[in-house]
């Protein structure tokens, strides 16, 4: 996905505030899920809450006002966890800004579950 920094996402240093990268990455995951016909909002209405368990994020370079950037991911499943490897690259020069490993789990009625159907949808290659 390609995004563009919005000025309100920058803090008084003139760079994107660290928390906004989590927003960008979350939106990228949700759009990816939608492409797989998995709706985050629908999951919630079905009583399954996908919640983050762990994020490991390295900030390599800062984005600034008006920068365009590419947000990409790949996904694997490990036990209870859906693991997203995510990167954000500045579009202009391809510089790596963010590298992150995001681990998600699914909770239903307060308990961890392995969402078999969701996992299959996640891992299936896109239809031709």
Member of 17, 38, 73, 83 binding a second copy (CB under 8 A): 17
The answer to whether residue 68 forms part of the interface with a second copy (CB under 8 A) is no
The residue among 57 and 83 lying less far from a second copy, judged by its C-beta, is 57
The answer to whether residue 80 forms part of the interface with a second copy (CB under 8 A) is no
Least Å distance, CB 2 to a second copy, is: 13
The CA distances from residue 70 to 21, 38, 45, in Å, are: 12, 22, 30
Least Å distance, CB 92 to a second copy, is: 15
Member of 36, 38, 40, 83 binding a second copy (CB under 8 A): 40
Count of residues of this chain found to bind a second copy when the rule CB under 8 A is applied: 37
User: Closest Cα to residue 112, out of 86, 76, 84, 80?
Assistant: 80
Q: What residues make contact with a second copy under the rule CB under 8 A?
A: 6-8, 10-15, 17-20, 22-23, 26-27, 30, 34, 39-41, 44, 49, 51-59, 62, 64-66
């Amino acid at each position: 996905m390609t995004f563009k920094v919005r000025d309100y996402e920058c803090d008084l240093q003139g760079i994107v505030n660290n928390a906004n990268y989590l927003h960008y990455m979350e939106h990228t995951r949700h759009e990816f899920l939608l492409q797989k016909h998995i709706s985050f909002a629908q999951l919630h209405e079905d009583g399954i809450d996908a919640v983050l368990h762990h994020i490991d994020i390295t900030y390599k370079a800062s984005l600034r006002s008006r920068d365009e950037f590419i947000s990409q991911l790949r996904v694997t499943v490990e036990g209870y966890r859906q693991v997203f490897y995510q990167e954000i690259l500045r579009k202009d020069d391809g510089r790596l800004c963010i590298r992150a490993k995001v681990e998600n789990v699914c909770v239903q009625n307060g308990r961890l579950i392995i969402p078999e159907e969701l996992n299959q949808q996640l891992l299936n290659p896109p239809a031709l």
